Amino acid sequence: MKILTVIGSKNSGKTTTVECVVSGLTRKGFRVGSIKHIHHSDFTIDTEGTDTWRHAQAGSRIVASVSRNEVALIVKDDPEHMLDPILDFMTNRGLDIVVVEGLHSSMGQRADVYKIVTARDVEDLRQRLRGTVPPILAISGVVAEMASRPTDISVPIISSKTDCSRLVERIKEEIVRK
């Protein structure tokens, strides 16, 4: 299983890029999974008063909700400690590619993870590229929509909005090739 992360600042086009990549790779026959980093410290998938919430309130560190169509795990732990177990779980589910949105601090440093960098503008892009280790497959997001693009950066700039198929082909060529 290969891992591709889309990293960038807030409102830089990460989710739009992930939508393009996941739908494009899925149409090409890849089995794709995804992970979304949510920055809001008060975010919870669980709702006060529900049975799963009550399980957690009673002290359960992991709550699994199982319905006819889906299973959700609510794990009360540090998300940085959970990333590798989540990736292991996805590996065991027969996925070809997992697309991660966010988690720049951990994923941006991994040489075994393919990356797409999104940015709001050229300065934001330069800041995102600092400290991000290769392989970086493309630059996308808001900066890719601008008429003024940096000429001193060798990574291809590909818009996920207007040239999604080209971005997906770039990913396919680089990931399948290795």
List of long-range contacts for 80-83, beta carbons under 8 Å, 24+ apart? 80/106, 83/35
* Predicted confidence (pLDDT) at residue 172 exceeds the cutoff of 70: yes
In the chain, the N- to C-terminal Cα span, in Å, equals: 11
Q: Is the preceding peptide bond at 135 cis, omega within 30 degrees of 0?
A: yes
pLDDT for residue 43 is more than 90: no
What's at 111, amino acid-wise?
A: A
pLDDT of 39 above 70? no
Share of the chain above pLDDT 90, in %: 54
Domain ranges, ordered by start, for the chain: 2-40+78-177
Sequence-ordered list of residues with C-beta below 8 angstroms from that of 124, at least 6 positions apart, any chain: 8, 9, 12, 143
**What is the residue type of 153?**
I
Of 36-45, 123-132, 144-153, where does the model show the most confidence? 123-132
> Quick check: 142 pLDDT over 70?
yes
Within a 10 A sphere around the Cβ of 1, how many other Cβ atoms? 15
What are the residues facing 36 on neighbouring strands? 101
If you ran DSSP here, which 8-state letter would residue 145 be given?
G
pLDDT, tens digit, 9 for 90 and up, residues 51-101: 888 898 898 988 888 889 988 888 877 767 788 888 888 888 999 999 999
For domain 2-40+78-177, give the fold. Answer: Rossmann fold (3.40.50)
Contact present, 5 and 108 (Cβ < 8 Å) = yes
pLDDT surpasses 90 at 2:
yes
Rounded average pLDDT over 24-45: 84
- List the structure tokens of 65: 């909700």
